[in-house]
A = this chain, B = another copy of it.
């Protein structure tokens, strides 16, 4: 390819770089993501890539935001298919697990170990919050409907109430103690289950992951009173 031929469409090439980076992410992981390898894939000079992403970290950030948004969209859509609160919850939960299984490396990038030497910048926060927003909205709606929780809940200490105030206040009207506590357990359980499954810690312990996940989220829905 003669020099200068490529310039046709900047955003097209930006997407091609990201696509190649995604492939690498799957093959060698985020820590080994290589600008030069991307350049080889796309048959361009490594220095040219730097015109699109000023550094390797900027590329990682773009991948991270893309993954968070893709997951957020999937979970939002999963919740939207539900006719009632319970279906919204189970729809969101299955969408979370389904996306993670379909995109294991993107899941590892977002919810797995931090990449050594890389700190996610604040531009990622908006995308990272989308899943929690879906779950909290469902719990908020359950509270507004006045459904009784299906499991006992603790009285919060003043310290605990302060500690999780940002969660309670994330939605309007704010969550009461009991719903906040259940929401936090649900949050941790869902990601805990998906991580344990995806990272191989349920091998030989659970024989049918989908069946088991379904049971777990039905039970969480019961606990939430959905």
**Interface stretch (choices A53-61, A70-78, A85-93, A160-168):** A160-168
Whether the pair B28, A29 counts as a contact (CB closer than 8 A) is: no
Whether the pair A185, B31 counts as a contact (CB closer than 8 A) is: no
Please report which residues of chain A, range 8-64, place their CB below 8 angstroms from some CB of chain B when the two chains form the complex: 27-29, 31-32
A42 vs chain B, min Cβ distance (A)? 21
Whether the pair B206, A166 counts as a contact (CB closer than 8 A) is: yes
Whether the pair B151, A206 counts as a contact (CB closer than 8 A) is: no
- In the complex, chain B residues whose CB is within 8 Å of the CB of A219: 153-154, 181, 185
Please classify how large the interface on chain A is, using the bins under 10, 10 to 19, 20 to 34, 35 or more.
35 or more
A202 vs chain B, min Cβ distance (A)? 9
A223 vs chain B, min Cβ distance (A)? 6
Given known pairs A29-B116, A167-B206, A208-B159, the reply for A188 and B181 (CB within 8 Å) is no
Please measure, in the bound complex, the distance between the C-alpha atom of A32 and the C-alpha atom of B208, giving whole angstroms.
34
A163 vs chain B, min Cβ distance (A)? 4
Whether the pair B111, A207 counts as a contact (CB closer than 8 A) is: no
Whether the pair A151, B150 counts as a contact (CB closer than 8 A) is: yes
**A interface residue numbers (CB < 8 A to B):** 27-29, 31-32, 108-109, 111-117, 120, 125, 128, 132, 150-154, 156-157, 159-160, 162-167, 170, 181, 184-185, 187-193, 195-196, 199-201, 204-209, 211-212, 214-216, 218-220, 222-223
